[in-house]
Amino acid sequence: MTTLQVKYNNDKSRDYTKMDLPSGETMGMPSHDHAMYGLPSATGLIPSPLSMAGTTAFAAATAATNPHFAGFPGLAGIPGIPAQTVPGLLPSFPHHHHHHHNPVLGGMRFPNMHSANSGSSVLLVSNLNPDRVTPDALFTLFGVYGDVHRVKILYEKRDSALIQLADSNQSHLAMSHLNSLKLYDKPMRVALSKHQQVSLPKEGQQDAGLTKDFTNSPLHRFKKPGSKNYQNIYPPNQVLHLSNIPASVTEDELKTAFNQHGTVCGFKFFPKDRKMALIQLNNLEESVEALVAMHNYPLGDNQHLRVSFSKANI
């Protein structure tokens, strides 16, 4: 046989060159029978494409993406019709979610099964204090958990910012530690962004200094492979770890500097290494502001203070 003869346009056969063929007898095929199509029954969890077929939204989306399917919204779920024929509607389903390959499920992805942004190194930070936040402040705070490459406070929405870190592991780490943390009196909301990178403003574009490139900053904590900083990553704490303290700097000088950003209620040098100390602020919000203000603070002898969150208590 050199040509395929199709007599009916229905759920079992269809001739796309002859849209006026009769529907014929559908043999009473149940349109919602998961078992018939090899679809797992996950009532209330994953809507099958077939159960969605009758909805106006599904029909509209199908017709919009491929005009040939206008009026035939159920096609995407029929065996033998590859899901790819509805571009953008049912992209590939990640096979690792299943123990066996299902030929019907292959080529489908259901909404909300996993985040399309899960590999993003860019964070969207919202609910910032627009009167106080700066790219440098965000660079310092998020830099505790990764090497921040770019920061963009949104020009039209100054309480939101995009922050690009070196990789997605660092963005996940920063998000897990900093989401809901208060900065400048407001709890930040931190989420993965759909953007894969933060773009710099084009020449002549209004920006007001809200975008900053830190790619080559000497202040990155994790640039060196195997850096000790990888072993000293802790959640935000009202006790801060200070390092790189010159021998000439006294406890009172450090307390005075930190008292500009909160109330110091504890301090001690490390007994075996006076280049390091612990300092305790009155509460977590004060310690966050003190870290942002005092990290890289000049202490004389061309040395700059290093500040991070400590796991210790004083």
| Residue pLDDT, tens place only, 215-271 | 999 999 999 988 889 889 999 999 999 999 999 999 999 999 999 999 999 999 999
pLDDT for 10 equals 77
How big is the CA angle at 242 (ends 241 and 245), to the nearest 5 degrees?
160
Per DSSP, the residues of 173-218 read: HHHHHHTT-EETTEE-EEEE-S-SSPPPPPTT---TT-EEE-TT-T
Q: Give the residue, 82 or 126, on which the prediction is more confident.
A: 126
For tokens 């009026």, name the residue: 71
pLDDT of residue 116: 55
What pLDDT band is residue 42 in, cutting at 50, 70 and 90?
very low
**What is the pTM for the complete model shown?**
0.64
Tell me the β-bridge partners of 280: 239, 266
What are the CA-CA distances from residue 54 to residues 59, 71, 111, 302 (Å)? 7, 10, 18, 71
Please give the single-letter amino acid code of residue 275: K
CB within 8 Å of 100: residues ≥ 6 apart: none
Percent of the chain past pLDDT 90, that is, above it, reads 56
